[in-house]
Structure 1
């Protein structure tokens, strides 16, 4: 955890026209696409208050067929997520960087990595991308985000995904990039002790 107040950070979602509000709308659009396509197992890393996933899931006609696990370290955000979580969505207060947090919830059909890549080192981004096949079922969709400030790392992250067995579906946004990749590789065994990343100071 950094010194940033991750509860107040969510207030930017409520500012109409803000970059985070636009990012949220884009992520939700792709979450709905994945659910429409039949995703039934979902995991969300550093899920915060679950605003990108839970409202979409609660209103989706397939909500009763979906099992989701949201992992969030901040207890206040985890409590906020639980307050809006529909049946079938589990909110775990724990370290999302450790693969063990997803035991029993993967392989998933939809993996959310939103608000992570802007808070970790480039090496940890690459390590995380290389580890994501452990969380993915073949054909799984991964939705991720990264700010597009200079130097813009979004094109490089796309290359790392493709090196790890993912196919690019799309990249949207000019200030906040929202990337969508689909896993095209084989099943990969879970290595519970693997650590993907550590948050760094802002």
Structure 2
């Protein structure tokens, strides 16, 4: 079986080469697969492509600048032609769980401003039902976050405050993240998204529904599959 990093690299490069054209405004995702997309975009810029890019995290912005990519403020662009980002889970309808990289709020804002959201992943991210492999990240205000976690738990999950170096992880937006495990997966994603979003203190949840136009998936046999919504 090929190394997972090789699969991620193959999917990311295929997506960039298929969707990114000279003169575009491009959203750059966050995470281990999106990293390879950033590198490929940097290669295109070095070849003379004129691209403006919007970053979904500070980490992505730093990587992009290191590779000669111009980063624009999202409020300084009318829209984003294409965003290439990863996902933690992808169901058969191209509904997603995202946010294990800690950037779900910015990722969702960028996705909402994007004409074509393209997901890149290896085959391990494919699931029949969301929430069966990955927890659902939920970004919450720091104030009263424990009370917010009670509201999350009432929706049938087991919320765990994300930690880093012995302290609560803080997102680029200055918020905490709870990783929510659903013992039997998420039966009704649209209902769950609505229920979570109405809990006081919730900033955003990692359900990305009816968002992606396609997913470029690298398989262990070396093939690359494109699924369209």
Short-chain TM bin:
0.3 to 0.5
Q: Which has the larger radius of gyration?
A: 2
TM-score under structure 2 length normalisation: 0.43
Normalising to structure 1: TM-score of the pair? Answer: 0.47
